[in-house]
Amino acid sequence: MTEYKYTPLDQLGDYMPRGDAEMQTRANDFFDDLKRRHTIRDFTDQPVPREVIEKCIETAGRAPSGANHQPWFFGLVGDRDVKREIRLAAEEEERAFYDWRAGEEWLDALDPLGTGPEKPFLETAPWLIAVFAQRRGGVEAGMDKKNYYLHESVGIACGFLIAALHHAGLATLTHTPNPMTFLSKKLNRPATEKPYLLVVTGHPKKDAAVPHHSMIKKPLNDIMKVY
Ligand code: IYR
């Protein structure tokens, strides 16, 4: 029989009770902070201390996950040569994507963003974070059990990561080269891991710009309904 072990939340001291007014202020403040996050595609090569990124990845690792298996792996790439290899491999895939793979409807959807197959940011930005979803694992490293709700879990972790990087003062780009299988090869990841997302982070160039298309945000009434 499993012995269920719990620690009272009170004893952990992790839950901070707050009054309604304070909750509202904090909710507003967090909104105001996150609404200043924009996906940008022009980065400077200004170095960012590795420790800052590591702390943000540690934050991502606090996301909830299926059976608490934490089915994620973050390949943190700062090495010039590896960044260059990733750029070249990504651009090769992207050329095929923009030339024929995407199809008309997809290209139309991307048109207002002005994106194309050139990805200089993969070399310029100080850090690339290659996120992988592990199909097998467990609550501790080295385990080999089936993982559950991978996409949900890793998606939530990426949300934590992006919010943490923004909160730290960094710009981010969620980049999804299509397909991303080359990342597994370049970073030597096992076949049980699926490349999930490439998060590019660093400081934005002075003349970095945000497409108007990306600033259209659905008002609350269009994204929720009270039942
Ligand atoms: N992976 C391509 C295309 C792309 C697709 C979507 I959906 C975007 O929101 C943005 C880009 C690229 O990175 O250019």
- Taking only the tens place, the pLDDT of each residue in 154-168 is 999 999 999 999 999
Peptide bond into 204 cis (omega under 30): no
Residue 9 has pLDDT above 70, yes or no: yes
Residue whose CB lies within 8 A of the most ligand 1 atoms, among 98, 176, 197, 198, for a mutation test: 176
Comparing C-alpha atoms, which of 202, 221, 19, 22 is closest to residue 124?
Answer: 202
Structure token digits, residue 80: 């010039």
Ligand 1 center to 113 CA (angstroms): 9
Residue 1 has pLDDT above 70, yes or no: no
- Taking only the tens place, the pLDDT of each residue in 160-192 is 999 999 999 999 999 998 889 999 999 999 999
Whether 214 is in the pocket of ligand 1, judged by its Cβ within 6 Å, is: no
Distance CA 97, CA 172 (A): 22
Whether 88 is in the pocket of ligand 1, judged by its Cβ within 6 Å, is: no
3-state secondary structure of 128: strand
Tell me if 123 sits within 8 A of 87, measured CB to CB. yes
Mean pLDDT of 66-93: 98
Whether 93 is in the pocket of ligand 1, judged by its Cβ within 6 Å, is: no
Query: Taking the model in full, what pTM does it have?
Result: 0.96
Residue 4 has pLDDT above 90, yes or no: no
